Amino acid sequence: MIRILVADDENLIRDAIAGLLDLEDDFEVAGRAATGDEALATALHVRPDVALLDLQLPGPDGIEVARRLATDLPGCRCVIVTSHARPGYLKSALAAGVRGFLPKTVSSRTLAEVVRTVADGGR
């Protein structure tokens, strides 16, 4: 079972992603968060295998959350999910240890495949 944290400041997006992932037999949405600080606290509490992080979280953004999780919870692999893919973000995300960088326009099937790949240690 792959334990997942979903962090997005938009309730509808967060709940939709979590709902879609919950349909997968090998996934468990272990936590949800609306801010960077909440994502960090929730991750340390539920210890997910994969954290799906919105790039533009309030408080520490998704890249900073990933950077902190790489130190505080090294077993948690991070994926940035965003609708704001500006130049430089991918490079910063990779430097922070992010294993995946996805636009919010991907299909639920692609999202599930990426979560599995990242959980297995891939990029």
Q: Element (H or E) spanning 3, and its range?
A: strand 2-7
β-strands 27-33, 2-7 pairing: parallel
Q: What's 2-103's CATH class?
A: alpha beta
Q: Give the model confidence (pLDDT) of 16-53 as tens digits.
A: 999 999 999 999 999 999 999 999 999 999 999 999 99
pLDDT of 83 = 87
Q: Give the model confidence (pLDDT) of 59-108 as tens digits.
A: 999 999 999 999 999 999 999 999 876 668 878 888 888 999 999 999 99
The model's pTM is 0.95
